[in-house]
Chains A and B, each alone.
Chain A
Amino acid sequence: MPDEKKVVLRRLQSAKDLGKFMAEYYYELDEAAKNGKRKIAWCTSVGPAELLRALGFLVYFPETHSAMLGSTRMATDLIPKANAIGYSPDICSYLTADIGAYLEGISPLAKVFKGIEGPPRPDVLVYNTNQCRDVQDWFEWYGTEYGVPVVGVQTYRNVGEVTDDHIISIKKQMEALVEPLEKIAGVRFEREKLQEAVRLSRKCSDLWKEVLDTASAVPSPITFFDGTTLMGAAVVGRGTQKANDVYNILLEELNDRIAKNEGAIEEEGYRLYWDGMPVWGRLRMHAELFAGLKTNVLASTYCNSWIFSALDPAAPFTSMARAYTELFIVRSDEYKEKYIREMLEFFKCDGILYHDAKTCPNNTNCRYGMPQRLQDETGIPSVTIHGDLNDLRLLSDEQTKTNVEAFIEQLEERR
């Protein structure tokens, strides 16, 4: 009988610091929700968090909660609850899983953090549609449910070159948020506080970029699967010093691995780029699958989405408008292809894996001929797996495995 090899994943020690950071973050929110001493804003993951921090809000990001629903494999049973009240199984499974969890009164936070029952009650919900329209629908449902205001920014889509017109429009929308948010926060907006939040956020972004860029080393000290959990601080903590402290520790460990020529997996035979969302409920399975094939999936469009190099404390609104419009997800296919080409070269990738996530078309880039075009331009082969970020009913593990194994065989043949 063919041997089943046991795969050992190399854990990063600093993941513990990240875990501690996340615990403190959720306990602070929970306490504020219970004692009412701090106002809480719910924000989309690439929404204007800096403005909310400047106004003294504690900021909660429902997408992180949805990702937890996915990684704890609770989502698949909860999605149908939202489907039953009119939210289609074909739309964002972050939205359907999260609303399903609310309807059922359950949360992975309660499982992970003792004493926390669930997400903190919001005083306001703030979105930016730069990711998709679903976030607006998602937040508006909660706005009605909690009886609190919902405000937001309507983005542009399919943006090629980011022009001054784009920036002026988004900047105006962001500035227009100040007045309603001041009323909810009960404080006056101070430009200096926004500048400080933008400064901290930019620092966080720079550190996160440095962390991800360590994957260009051969062997890479980090995997995409590490990145999907380590990015927690960049999502929920950007604009705070604590997040930056965590990334300084992580960066030190990664640079130490590079100095020791120590890879994230035992043997790095092939280097892959992952485009699209992770399959949250299969993170470990996928990490082991690739490591077992001596392959490191080491870079991704997804983890890079929390790099906001345009943020500039000297021009907080303008630079926020630029940073949140320059995002990969907002851009045209022409831009995206150029970006991925650069990433493939920078990270020295042998191949690219596209995750066609059934319920997340905006984070799926293989439906309009991009894999074929990129392969023609670069000669770097690709494989597509069909799945979903949260809804495990939409994937076949066996088919994913066969596709991945066959792809690595193909790379072997061509080496």
Chain B
Amino acid sequence: MTKDQGSRERHNPRPIYVGVDVGASRTKAVVMDRERRLLGRAVRKSGTDFSESSRLCVETSLEMAGASESDIVNAVSTGYGRKNVACATDTRTEIGCHARGCYLAFPMAITIIDIGGQDNKIIKLDAEGRRTGFKMNRKCAAGTGAFLEEMSPRLDVPLEEMNGLAMQSTDMVKLGSFCTVFSATEVLQNIRVGKHVTDIVKGLFFSVIKRVLEMDSLTENVVMTGGVVAHNPYLVEMTEEAIGRRIWVPEYPQLTGAIGAALYAMQE
């Protein structure tokens, strides 16, 4: 904590810390107190104005926490739009923030799989929460939320219904292609031969899992986070089946980056 920050904390009856994660698809904000309790949270579309979406997110999460801007001791931002957050005094990478956020929920050696709207990350932490390595997906949308977003209109299925449909599958379609565009062709081919939408959607989910699992090896304890996981919990079940062991999911998988940013705000 800086001297300035310490002074602000002492003079503030209700000191709070803010973390903002401006992702390619959604902006997330959290408000936490010194005891690392989550007091407020908000998620909204990032849209085309990152400053405005982050401002609105912070406003909503402050309201939820029953706090005001003057209560903020410090704020840190992360994500693609991290430089556009007005209240932030510093930035950290999504990788660092997801690591912090996950370690708060699961303080042990973990491998984090974060499936975001635009990119995937695999982050490895040791028992003390220090990063030992990380990987991001290559310059390709395969295996990211963008892949499911691309496929949803092709199947004429709203994104939010995909999880339920995948769960109903009885005969999953296998999609072989690495590439999003080629996968779309495979999907069209499966529609043409009369495969059920439920089986195709499950095939899409499995494609996401395959892309992620080929990025890196996993250690014993695996945590999954990110918006895609938050909205498609069946994806976690499928991944558990694929790797043959339990996967940990934090209470708010979409907010781990923002929580990590708030934790950095406390530290700084």
Q: Say whether A402 contacts B85, CB under 8 Å.
A: no
Give the residue of A1, A386, A414 whose beta carbon is less than 8 angstroms from that of B138. Answer: A386
**Selected A-B contacts with CB under 8 Å, 24 pairs:** A1-B83, A1-B86, A2-B77, A2-B83, A2-B88, A2-B90, A2-B91, A383-B134, A384-B135, A386-B139, A395-B139, A396-B139, A399-B136, A399-B139, A402-B94, A406-B96, A407-B134, A409-B92, A409-B95, A409-B131, A410-B96, A410-B131, A413-B131, A414-B130
B168 contacts chain A at the CB level, 8 A cutoff: no
Number of contact residues on A: which range applies?
20 to 34
Q: Say whether A381 contacts B133, CB under 8 Å.
A: yes
Residues of A within 8 A of B138 (CB): 386
Q: Say whether A405 contacts B86, CB under 8 Å.
A: no
Residues of B within 8 A of A1 (CB): 83-86, 88
Using a CB–CB cutoff of 8 Å, the interface residues on chain A facing chain B are 1-2, 4, 375, 381, 383-384, 386, 394-396, 398-399, 402-403, 405-407, 409-410, 413-414
Chain A at the B interface: SS class? helix
Distance in angstroms between the alpha carbons of A248 and B147 in the assembled complex: 55
Using a CB–CB cutoff of 8 Å, the interface residues on chain B facing chain A are 77, 80, 82-86, 88-96, 119, 130-136, 138-139
Q: Say whether A409 contacts B88, CB under 8 Å.
A: no
Q: Say whether B139 contacts A406, CB under 8 Å.
A: no
Closest chain-B Cβ to A393's Cβ sits at a distance in Å of 9
Closest chain-B Cβ to A118's Cβ sits at a distance in Å of 32
Closest chain-A Cβ to B23's Cβ sits at a distance in Å of 12
Distance in angstroms between the alpha carbons of A15 and B96 in the assembled complex: 38
Distance in angstroms between the alpha carbons of A414 and B138 in the assembled complex: 26
Distance in angstroms between the alpha carbons of A127 and B88 in the assembled complex: 56
Closest chain-A Cβ to B78's Cβ sits at a distance in Å of 10
Distance in angstroms between the alpha carbons of A2 and B132 in the assembled complex: 27
Q: Say whether B89 contacts A402, CB under 8 Å.
A: no
Which 6 pairs show the lowest CB-CB distances between chains A and B?
A406-B95, A406-B93, A410-B131, A409-B96, A2-B91, A405-B93
Distance in angstroms between the alpha carbons of A1 and B50 in the assembled complex: 12
Distance in angstroms between the alpha carbons of A2 and B77 in the assembled complex: 8
Residues of A within 8 A of B89 (CB): 2
Distance in angstroms between the alpha carbons of A342 and B104 in the assembled complex: 39
Residues of B within 8 A of A2 (CB): 77, 82-83, 85, 88-91
Residues of B within 8 A of A410 (CB): 96, 131, 133-134
Closest chain-A Cβ to B258's Cβ sits at a distance in Å of 15
